[in-house]
Structure 1
Amino acid sequence: MNWATNHDASLDALKLVQGSLKVELMMVPREDFVTCTPDETAAQVKARNLHQFSYFPVVNGDKRVIGLYHAERWFTEDAPETRISHDFAPLSEDIVIGADASIFDFVMQADTHPTNLVVSGNQIAGLVSLSDLQKLPVRASLFALITSLEMAMALAIERNWKAPADWMNLLSDGRKQKLKDAIDDAKKRDSFVSEIAFAQLSDKAGVICKSNLLNEGRNKLGKTFRDIERLRNKVAHADQYAATPETAKSVCRAVRSIYSMKANLLKVIEAKES
């Protein structure tokens, strides 16, 4: 038996998968909000911010959310007696996101808009922030995204080199031998799919970099691949990948790089198939 390959590397397929992983799965629900009021001062909010929440939803006398207050500014400084009413971000498109939006609709911009109020129907249903990137739904989304990138990489390599030996020759002698050993073993066990199915992410990245398949600078492309591989390893092995604001923001950058790289790979694939 020869197992058939099935490279579904399209962006449409990825969107279908990610469409089921929505922002509402990672948000803090409204009933768990820790809020502040317009009449409080920055100093008062800091005094009771024992858990060091970066942002507070601001609520009026009717308990309706009217905006966000940025409390993180005063973590290491004395907070002023300024009233929150004079120092908060009122509701706007910049700080809201739909509950049914994809998780990546938030992740793609979370390094510049680190906290969003989540809208469901005509009310605020929750809050999502940069610190939520460690949650399981985000991990699942990242794994799907990186897997889809690997599929696109594999398909682009297969389309560009008809003979597997041609792209395998771009690998180091050690990696090429390990790949051949894995292929030979799979053939003996009747589980062979294709040569590219046995290439590691680093193998595929090396082939793409050395061949200039994406027509980008090798050093820059190599660094991007290394960043993606580090993220993939942490996601796959249940390590912390967004434990600090800096590492969380690096995830946002990596996600944008993956989307851009995948779009460019799909252009290569389409060109080879036309």
Structure 2
Amino acid sequence: MKRIESSSNKKSPHQSLRSLFLHDIHIDHIAEELVVCQADERTANALHIMDTHDFDCLGVEENGKVIGYIEKHDLSDGICRDKMKSFITTEVVSDSTSLLKTLYLFKETKRIFVLEENRISKLVTHADLQKAPVQLFLFGLVSLTEMYLLQWIKKYLPYEEWKPYLNKSRLREAYRLFNERKKVNEEIQLIDCLQLCDKRDIVLSLKDMYTILPFPSKNKMRDYFRRIESLRNDLAHAQDFIGKFTKEEIIDLVLQTEKVLRILEEELLGG
């Protein structure tokens, strides 16, 4: 007899996404090979490599082992060994470290060195957060937020009771999109044609909604949704969001979004 899994043990969409980036996608998916110089090499040679490839950092190698690193802004004439910095614990992780943990580690450091079979061989910097695996995770979080907000609106404002919370232009846009989709026989409702900004405005209009979600005020909640929408637009149009958001802002946004999703899950999914 086939066993049917209990719904109480089933992972929510958020839990499934988190599990993927916690267990199956690792730092190795975004890391770059660490370019090295020799410990007894002149700093002028190291600077030439950095200028040629637009690097800020090089590993320092001696007898086939990477023993430290140098940073461009520290270099003056001399020997690389004399300008070398030692690795510290918070900067070095194994190549099996999850992408999610990697993201949080960036709150404490500006670069992460990757240990592969007892050798530091790779490097991850702020720029690597622009890569596809990170974008996939961020887009997944934003998409889940949109999905849960829609479910929330359907639950608490059924039968199109949400309409008065939108201004006329946004409502007209929803109807326009609805009519276009109906032409191709899509099985949709008007509420399915709302954009993220519409869902945001509806939720912001609900009395004391900010007290349910993890925000100290309505202004803070509005600012959160503004940033989420900006990030979503950059991701959807393949734009450089790293140029708009600092790594600290990205990490804080992820932490906030995970809190929002957990609260919405508890209310909507009973999990």
Distance 1:25 1:167, change over 3 A: same
Q: Which amino acid aligns with 1:59?
A: E
Which residue in the other structure is 2:257 paired with? 261
Answer whether contact 1:21 1:141 (CA < 8 A) is retained.
no
Share of identical aligned residues, percent? 21
Cα–Cα, structure 1 residues 94 and 173, in superposed 2: closer, same or farther, change >3 Å? same
Q: Does 1:133 align with 2:129?
A: yes
Q: Secondary structure at the match of 2:165?
A: coil
Aligned to 1:107: 103
Q: What pairs with 1:1-274 in structure 2 (closer than 5 Å)? A: 10-18=13-21, 19-29=23-33, 33-40=34-41, 45-51=46-52, 52-60=54-62, 62-71=63-72, 73-74=73-74, 79-81=75-77, 84-85=80-81, 87-110=83-106, 112-159=108-155, 161-183=156-178, 186=181, 190-211=185-206, 212-215=208-211, 216=215, 217-242=217-242, 244=243, 247=244, 250=246, 252-271=248-267
Shift of 1:229: 1.8
Change (3 A) 1:114 1:268: same
1:58 counterpart letter in structure 2: V
SS of aligned partner of 1:66:
strand
Structure number with higher relative contact order (C-alpha < 8 Å, ≥ 6 residues apart): 1
Distance in 2 (CA, whole Å) between partners of 1:273 and 1:143 is 21
Distance verdict in 2 for CA 1:83–1:28, change over 3 Å? same
Q: 1: distance between equivalents of 2:57 and 2:80?
A: 12
Structure 1's 236 and 42: CA in aligned 2 closer, same or farther, altered over 3 A? same
Deviation for aligned residue 1:250: 2.4
State the 1:17 CA deviation.
3.5
SS at 2:68 equivalent: strand
- Distance in structure 1 (CA, Å) of the matches to 2:105 and 2:167: 38
Contact 2:14 2:261 in 1 (8 A): no
After superposition, the Cα gap between the structure-2 partners of 1:163 and 1:230, relative to the gap in structure 1 and judged at 3 Å, is: same
Count of paired positions: 253
Deviation track 1:85-131 (CA, whole Å, cap 9, x = no partner) reads 45444233311233233334333343642221112343334211112
After superposition, the Cα gap between the structure-2 partners of 1:269 and 1:49, relative to the gap in structure 1 and judged at 3 Å, is closer
Q: Is the 8 A contact 2:14 2:141 kept in 1?
A: no
Rounded to whole Å, the distance in 1 between the matches of 2:195 and 2:201 is 10
Instruction: Using the TM superposition, give the Cα deviation of residue 173 of structure 1 relative to its aligned residue in structure 2, in angstroms.
Output: 1.8
| CA apart distance, 1:53 | 0.9
2:27 and 2:197 map into 1 onto residues whose CA distance is 31
Shift of 1:251: 5.2
Write the distance in 2 (CA, Å) between the matches of 1:118 and 1:164.
Answer: 54
1:273 and 1:126, CA in 2 relative to 1: closer, same or farther beyond 3 A? closer
Report how far residue 240 of structure 1 moved.
2.3
Q: Decide which moves more: 81-90 or 195-204.
A: 81-90
CA contact (8 A) 1:107 1:252 kept: no
| Letter of the 2:91 counterpart | I
Q: Can you give the 5+ residue segments of structure 1 that lack an aligned partner in the other structure?
A: 1-7
**Contact map agreement 1:152 1:262 (CA 8 A) in 2:** no
Please tell me the residue identity of whatever aligns with 1:144: G
Check 1:128–1:273 CA distance in 2 against 1; reply closer, same or farther (3 A cut).
closer
Q: Distance in 2 between matches of 1:141 and 1:238?
A: 14
Q: Distance in 1 between matches of 2:255 and 2:150?
A: 16
Q: Which stretches in structure 2 are left out of the alignment for 5+ residues?
A: 1-10
> Could you list the per-position Cα deviations for residues 17-71 of structure 1 after superposition, in whole angstroms to 9, with x for gaps in the alignment?
4344332122113xxx3213444565653354223311111222x2212233222
Alpha-carbon contact 1:228-1:254 (below 8 Å) kept: no
Q: Is the 8 A contact 2:138 2:254 kept in 1?
A: no
Question: TM-score scaled by structure 1?
Answer: 0.75
CA 1:133–1:268 in 2, change beyond 3 Å: closer, same or farther?
closer
